[in-house]
């Protein structure tokens, strides 16, 4: 299973960041291709946050986030 993790930071406090796991069902390649679109969708629904980066990795592996 692939894990898509967004690193998001508050607009009001840019130093306050957190990982945000997003549901993703697909391959690592499709996560890399479509992760940005899913991140944009998440950000549009959470206007207090800005995207710092997103990562794709194997779920449950150390360092996938």
DSSP 50: E
Q: Is the pLDDT of residue 65 over 50?
A: no
Q: Is residue 22 part of a domain?
A: yes
**pLDDT value at residue 62:** 52
Q: Is residue 20 part of a domain?
A: yes
Q: Confidence class of residue 1 from pLDDT cuts 50, 70 and 90?
A: confident
Q: Which domain holds residue 29?
A: 2-58
Q: Is residue 64 part of a domain?
A: no
Q: Is residue 63 part of a domain?
A: no
Q: Is residue 6 part of a domain?
A: yes
DSSP 3: E
Taking only the tens place, the pLDDT of each residue in 6-57 is 999 999 999 999 999 998 899 999 999 999 999 999 999 999 999 999 999 9
**pLDDT value at residue 64:** 45
Q: Is residue 65 part of a domain?
A: no
pTM of the model: 0.82
Which of 32, 16, 21 minimizes the C-alpha distance to 59?
A: 21
Split into its structural domains, the chain has a count of 1
């Amino acid at each position: 299973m692939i894990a898509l993790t967004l690193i998001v930071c508050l607009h009001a406090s840019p130093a306050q960041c957190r990982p945000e796991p997003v549901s993703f069902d697909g391959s690592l390649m499709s996560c890399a291709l479509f992760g940005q679109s899913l991140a944009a969708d998440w950000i549009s629904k959470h206007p207090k946050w800005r995207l710092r980066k997103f990562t794709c990795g194997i779920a449950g592996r150390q360092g996938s986030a």
